[in-house]
Amino acid sequence: MPTIKDVAKYAGLSRTTVSRVINDQPYVSDEKRQCVLKAMEELGYVPNSSARRLRSQKTETLAVLLPRITNPFFSHLIEAMEIKASQWGYQVIICQTHESEQKEQDYLELLRTKQVDGVIMTAVHNDWEVIESYRECGPIVVCNENIEEAQVPFIYVNQEEAAYDATMHLIQQGCKNISFLSGDDDSNVSAYRRSGFLKALQESSLPFLPNASYANAIDVNSGREIFRELRRLNHPIDGVFTGSDEVAAGMIYEAIKEGVRVPEDMSIIGFDNQSISMLMSPSITTVEQPVQDMGEKCVEVLIDQIEHKHRSVREDHVFEHELKVRNSTFQEIALVNS
């Protein structure tokens, strides 16, 4: 592999001049520029990025921390991020935390060891003060969470409102005994959603059913399991806020198996508008978040911080959600009759 030194020698010029050509800097005569380009071409030279990184103190690489990439919400998010980052000439390294505090810290170390210029966190598992200590090593932006005391940019949808709207929709459909499901309980997202859920119940003078509340609803299988548990309650449930299309799909799967009619006997509402929500029968009413826009925004904000080195203060980028009403909460018959 030829180095810049070889190119310089071959072109009969100094490394400095070659470097100027590589980086499109001024103060190189056209004649020499051509000369250098020719030399690079003929030697098949390509600059070594480790050396560039060391000297220029930047990596043009971002780390994206997420629980697991197979969750469609996160895969869509990181898809958008990678595309945007690539447009800016940045690489994206993928960091699956699997909800582990330790792994989250391990990956944040990438910032300290200068393997990345910045970090996007799409979930936060450690206490904020732990995260905070990494901030001196480089910018961090948080996506999909909202931690009040933290002074970094946040990109999110108002989960409280979203859950409120979803719950209100269930109530308008006539649900009176509504179950609340959430994933990881230490996440702020769950807390905000619960709060919106409770607000809707309260305004409608409906009771909260702690027995029909589960905090381990994360995927299809947990959805199926929780459905079976709900059936065992002596209190009949006619509506479920799942917080996830996959959980909703799992519940519907089980409902069909058990002969429970959705939405007539039980209305089920998902979250994220993943493709599964359209495909299930009945199709799943869900809350759409503008995932692509959010992903792009994260990258833009982060790169802006990296390239302009401005100390990040609190910054809120709130995106709008949208309720997608489908058949898991809404009987088409009613529509036909009206």
* Residues contributing to the site for a copy of itself (CB under 8 A): 1, 46-51, 53-54, 57, 59, 61, 68-70, 72, 75-76, 78-79, 82-83, 86, 91-96, 109-110, 112-115, 137, 220, 246, 249-250, 252-253, 256, 275-276, 278-281
Q: How far is the CB of 97 from a copy of itself (least distance, A)?
A: 10
Using CA atoms, how far apart are residues 165 and 178, in angstroms rounded to an integer? Answer: 14
CB-wise, 19 or 187, nearer to DNA? 19
First CA to last CA distance, the chain: 75
Per CB under 7 A, does 234 bind DNA?
no
Residue 33 has a CB neighbour count (10 Å cut-off) of 14
Per CB under 7 A, does 16 bind DNA?
yes
Is the distance from CB of 283 to CB of 277 less than 8 angstroms? yes
Chain centroid, CA 125 distance in Å: 14
Q: How far is the CB of 64 from DNA (least distance, A)?
A: 25
188 binds, among a copy of itself, DNA, none (CB under 5 to 8 A by kind): none
Binding DNA (rule: CB under 7 A), the pick from 52, 103, 199, 317 is 52
Tokens found for residue 193? 């959603």
228 binds, among DNA, a copy of itself, none (CB under 5 to 8 A by kind): none
Per CB under 7 A, does 51 bind DNA?
yes
Q: Which residues make beta-bridge pairs with 214? A: 181
Per CB under 7 A, does 172 bind DNA?
no
Binding DNA (rule: CB under 7 A), the pick from 34, 38, 40, 48 is 48
22 binds, among DNA, a copy of itself, none (CB under 5 to 8 A by kind): DNA
Using CA atoms, how far apart are residues 284 and 275, in angstroms rounded to an integer? Answer: 10
Is the distance from CB of 141 to CB of 171 less than 8 angstroms? no
Using CA atoms, how far apart are residues 123 and 273, in angstroms rounded to an integer? Answer: 19
15 binds, among a copy of itself, DNA, none (CB under 5 to 8 A by kind): DNA
Q: How far is the CB of 255 from a copy of itself (least distance, A)?
A: 11
At residue 213, the 3 state secondary structure works out as strand
Binding DNA (rule: CB under 7 A), the pick from 10, 19, 74, 139 is 19
Candidates 48-56, 101-109, 268-276, 329-337: pick the segment binding DNA (CB under 7 A): 48-56
Per CB under 7 A, does 15 bind DNA?
yes
Per CB under 7 A, does 136 bind DNA?
no
Strands (E), the chain: 61-66, 91-96, 118-121, 140-143, 153-157, 178-181, 213-214, 239-241, 267-269, 286-288, 315-319, 322-324
Q: How far is the CB of 26 from DNA (least distance, A)?
A: 6
Tokens found for residue 172? 């308008």
C-alpha angle with apex 149: 321 to 105, nearest 5 degrees?
Answer: 90
Tokens found for residue 268? 């089920």
Is the distance from CB of 188 to CB of 124 less than 8 angstroms? yes
Using CA atoms, how far apart are residues 244 and 221, in angstroms rounded to an integer? Answer: 12
CB-wise, 145 or 246, nearer to a copy of itself? 246
Per CB under 7 A, does 9 bind DNA?
no
| Residue from 197, 145, 133 nearest 171 by CA | 197
276 binds, among DNA, a copy of itself, none (CB under 5 to 8 A by kind): a copy of itself
Per CB under 7 A, does 27 bind DNA?
yes
Using CA atoms, how far apart are residues 208 and 176, in angstroms rounded to an integer? Answer: 10
- Please give the biggest Cα pair distance in the chain: 88
Binding DNA (rule: CB under 7 A), the pick from 10, 34, 38, 56 is 56
Using CA atoms, how far apart are residues 84 and 89, in angstroms rounded to an integer? Answer: 9
Q: How far is the CB of 86 from DNA (least distance, A)?
A: 20
Residues that bind DNA (CB under 7 A): 1, 3-5, 12-17, 19-20, 22-23, 26-32, 45, 47-48, 50-52, 54-57
